[in-house]
Structure 1
Amino acid sequence: MPHYDALSKAVRDARTALLFSQRKVAELAGVSLSLVQAMETGEERSYQPAKKRQIEDALQRPRGWIDQILRDGYSPGDLPRRGEIQADLTPRERIARMEPTEVREIAKLIIEATGNSEAALDWVEAANQIRQESTESAKTDRRQGA
């Protein structure tokens, strides 16, 4: 019998280790938010192989990880702790993974520190461009089967 409860915990742990929201995982994977939510709630269903691969890629897990968990279960020690995966990222990669609320919070800090709203607007524009390029690159990689 598949371990849907283990998959629920594993997907949630992988997502939070990356500091991602469910919406961010769905966006990076090119799947619906409801699919990510179904996995995280342990919904018992047959997940399409391509969708599983896309979610594994978004969560930076090896191919076959979801099937292995469904088959063998999951131990929380199998993943890095919250935020550990981000330690090896370049600044550009960190920006690409930011949520819109984080981008806005940094803009507020720029205004507080410099009093320069123009610089804050430049930051938001640059960050959004990096995030968009990252999303488009992930979609291209998925289409090419990378």
Structure 2
Amino acid sequence: MNERQAKCPFCRQFMTGWRSRYPAKACDQCDRPLFLMPSIFKRDHLAILSALDIAKVLMLPIVTGATISFGLGGLTPSEFAAVVASALLMWGLIDVWDGTAGLKTGIDRVKKQVQKGGKARKTSVAKTIFGFSSVLLGALGLLLII
């Protein structure tokens, strides 16, 4: 991969060279955390992935598995509530991080559309507020279960 032509998967802006021996760094433009990983589709090719998107996707099978397990009687209601509260806490932290990065840089993404300026800041404020509410709800849920 030619690093001079690498694009951030979040804001789709060209990035400067990786310049780090670690497989993680923040985008220079949108300040989102990124991972450099071997591509599963092309040999000798590296892919840049958004850490926030990876974290959200990894939480889905956990919540789905807990829901199925609860439905089949494998989890007690308090264990299921703990998984749901933990997921709310994690998704809330991701939204707070995403929202504050959007407030800082003025770049945000909703679905596949990149927003800039005032519209991005409004969306980032909403993400931050809803993220904080999710963190609060998840933390309260965990405190009430314990």
| Bin for the TM-score computed over the shorter chain | 0.3 to 0.5
Give the structure with the higher percent strand.
2
Give the structure with the higher percent helix.
1
Q: TM-score, normalised by structure 1?
A: 0.34
Larger Rg computed on CA atoms = 2
Q: TM-score, normalised by structure 2?
A: 0.34
